[in-house]
Amino acid sequence: MGDYELLSKIKSPADVKRLDEKDLAKLCSEIREKLIETVSLNGGHLSPNLGVVELTVALHRTFNLPKDSIVWDVGHQSYTHKLLTGRFDDFYTLRQKGGISGFPKRSESKYDDFNTGHSSTSISAAYGIARAKMLIGDQSHTVAIIGDGSFTGGLAFEAMNNAGRFKKNFIVILNDNKMSISKNVGAFPRYLTTVRIQPWYIRVKKNTEKVLSKIPLFGRPISAFLRRSKSKIKNLVYKNTLFDCFGFTYIGPIDGHDIPELENALSAAKKINSPVLLHVVTKKGKGYLPAEENPGTFHGIGKFDIDSGEPISSHKGFSAEFGNTLCELAEKDKKICAITAAMAKGTGLEKFSIYHKERFFDVGIAEEHAVTFACGLASKGMRPVFAVYSTFLQRSYDQIIHDAAMSGLHIVLAIDRAGIVGDDGETHQGVFDVSMLNSIPNVTIFSPTYFDGLKCALNSAIYVCNNVAAVRYPRGGELYKPDDFGEESIT
């Protein structure tokens, strides 16, 4: 246990502002030590939080909290924010009953502006906060921090499309660590790669305007025309990013572990009279070698040994049993497809993704798309199985009704983490799937208690049911099983 010479004295963001710049590296080191120590005992999200330490410190030094507002997407990377906002003394209670939540909670602190726990909501919420401030004459800033994984969710793009018309004091920080829980997939991560390798973007834009401004008579009109133009000429001269097309001023990429550079970029963003997209590149798990080498494993982890990085206890769970069973069925049936929304490891589909790669689909954090995509597969005779946490299935309610049940299509929902999940709080409990699915006609729900029952239920869901079938199972492994207990499949 460290002495936390600097961190223990931080009671508010004002204390962070008062620190000398030469002390910031030590502060960040103490924060990482505290994060590793606490999560090793309580479990939690480690690698996302290790990756945003410097970014969080820079935010608290640049903005005036709580007058300025910060909205964390998902919120699983807000531990440093909690440590810097008066919760150090109680941090040992993280994710414990009656203790500090693992996610932002408005009821917990005046520095938590919005309750979060699910992905891709931050830009919508922050834009609403910014609009409300404008209506009451509040000139403070609003900041949304969203990861590149969360940007694969459609809600983020809906919000960008709407917020691009806003005038000022609205900043979106894209925390680009090349991952969500699993490695990112799809076109957007590939696009970010092209942006990351072009750090000259913002310099080209500035230099072009500077040169044009010095041309007598014609320079300024040409510059103004190019800024207004929607033509290919503008794209050629200014090298527009996707974010510029949404109406945001793009700044980046910025080293997310360089506090002076971050503070300069944030200060510049505050002065721009348009919405800003600040692209920050970070390393997930930074500062703890096991998490750097296996950021997916340490994204959300139980208790572990700090020296070795090994879990203190491990047991075979329903997720692994589901994944193995689906692999066995897929070996015999070439029509079986597996779908995940950026949760291949969490839902037990890593093995399937290796042995049946051509029939494995990671759609990113897009549960709504996953269900309708599954319906498209089913309409042509495939047998799609969408593996999803119960709490995230809620996001696809309309698609289950409209695209699956009403269309009479046969898809299987493998609902992981059903029921009470435990330490992650109310945003992650799987308590709504039964009531939600029971309200939809032509849905069959299985709730196996043991591994044998899971195998029978999955087989029945795939081969006996003709419409939507849901197999729901809990987090963790089997409990005590009476000798005379039996579970059978339906026929």
The yes-or-no verdict on residue 88 having pLDDT over 90 is yes
Q: State the pLDDT confidence band at 247, using cuts at 50, 70 and 90.
A: confident
Of 359, 395, 417, 475, the catalytic one is: 395
- When pLDDT is averaged across residues 235-251 and rounded to a whole number, the result is 71
- When pLDDT is averaged across residues 79-85 and rounded to a whole number, the result is 97
Residue owning tokens 């505290």: 34
Residue owning tokens 């909290």: 65
- When pLDDT is averaged across residues 56-83 and rounded to a whole number, the result is 96
| Structure confidence at residue 389 (pLDDT) | 96
Expressed in angstroms, the distance from the first to the final Cα of the chain is 58
The pair of structure tokens assigned to 282 is 């970070």
- When pLDDT is averaged across residues 442-453 and rounded to a whole number, the result is 94
CA distance 247 to 228: 11
The yes-or-no verdict on residue 400 having pLDDT over 90 is yes
Question: How many alpha carbons lie under 13 Å from residue 19 in its C-beta half-sphere?
Answer: 25
* 284 catalytically annotated: yes
Of 33, 54, 263, 367, the catalytic one is: 367
**Domains delineated in the chain:** 7-198+239-293 (3.40.50.970), 318-472 (3.40.50.970)
| Structure confidence at residue 296 (pLDDT) | 84
Q: Tell me whether residue 293 is exposed, middle or buried, using C-beta atoms within 10 angstroms of its C-beta: 0 to 12, 13 to 18, 19 or more.
A: exposed
Q: State the pLDDT confidence band at 197, using cuts at 50, 70 and 90.
A: very low
The yes-or-no verdict on residue 275 having pLDDT over 90 is yes
The yes-or-no verdict on residue 353 having pLDDT over 80 is yes
Q: What is the pLDDT of residues 105-129, one digit of tens each?
A: 999 999 999 999 999 999 999 999 9
Mapped onto helix, strand or coil, the DSSP state of residue 443 is strand
The pair of structure tokens assigned to 183 is 């490695």
The yes-or-no verdict on residue 409 having pLDDT over 80 is yes
> Is residue 197 within 8 Å of residue 253, measured between CB atoms?
no
Kindly report the pTM of this predicted structure.
Answer: 0.83
Residue owning tokens 């435990």: 422
Q: What is the pLDDT of residues 6-26, one digit of tens each?
A: 999 999 999 999 999 999 999
The pair of structure tokens assigned to 61 is 């030094």
Give me the amino acid identity at 385.
V
| Structure confidence at residue 407 (pLDDT) | 94
CA distance 384 to 335: 8
> Is residue 71 within 8 Å of residue 116, measured between CB atoms?
yes
Closest of 35, 5, 3, 41 to residue 23, by C-alpha: 5
Residue 263 φ then ψ, to 5°: -65, -40
Q: Quick one: what percent of the chain has pLDDT higher than 90?
A: 69
> Is residue 405 within 8 Å of residue 440, measured between CB atoms?
yes
Q: State the pLDDT confidence band at 166, using cuts at 50, 70 and 90.
A: confident
The pair of structure tokens assigned to 17 is 């502002």
Angle at 248 between CA 151 and CA 79, to 5 degrees: 45
Give me the amino acid identity at 261.
E
C-alpha separations of 195 from 242, 253, 277 in Å: 10, 8, 13
Lowest mean pLDDT among 82-96, 229-243, 293-307, 467-481: 229-243
Give exposure, 376-407, as e/b (b: 16+ Cβ within 10 Å).
Answer: ebbeeebbbbbbbbbbbbebbbebbbebbbee
* 367 catalytically annotated: yes
> Is residue 416 within 8 Å of residue 389, measured between CB atoms?
yes
> Is residue 196 within 8 Å of residue 358, measured between CB atoms?
no
Give exposure, 81-90, as e/b (b: 16+ Cβ within 10 Å).
Answer: bbbbbbbbee
> Is residue 445 within 8 Å of residue 438, measured between CB atoms?
yes
- When pLDDT is averaged across residues 46-75 and rounded to a whole number, the result is 96
Q: State the pLDDT confidence band at 208, using cuts at 50, 70 and 90.
A: low
Sheet strands side by side (includes 468-472) = 360-362, 336-340, 383-389, 412-416, 468-472, 443-446
Closest of 123, 154, 152 to residue 276, by C-alpha: 123
Helix (H) or strand (E) holding 332: helix 318-332
| Structure confidence at residue 231 (pLDDT) | 44
Of 205, 284, 345, 359, the catalytic one is: 284
Taking all residues of the chain, what is their mean pLDDT, rounded to a whole number? Answer: 88
CA distance 418 to 421: 7
| Structure confidence at residue 68 (pLDDT) | 97
The pair of structure tokens assigned to 172 is 């979106």
CA distance 347 to 413: 12
| Structure confidence at residue 211 (pLDDT) | 58
Higher pLDDT, 467 or 149: 467
Query: Beta-strand (E) ranges in 204-348?
Result: 249-255, 276-281, 336-340
Q: Quick one: what percent of the chain has pLDDT higher than 70?
A: 85
DSSP category for residue 177: -
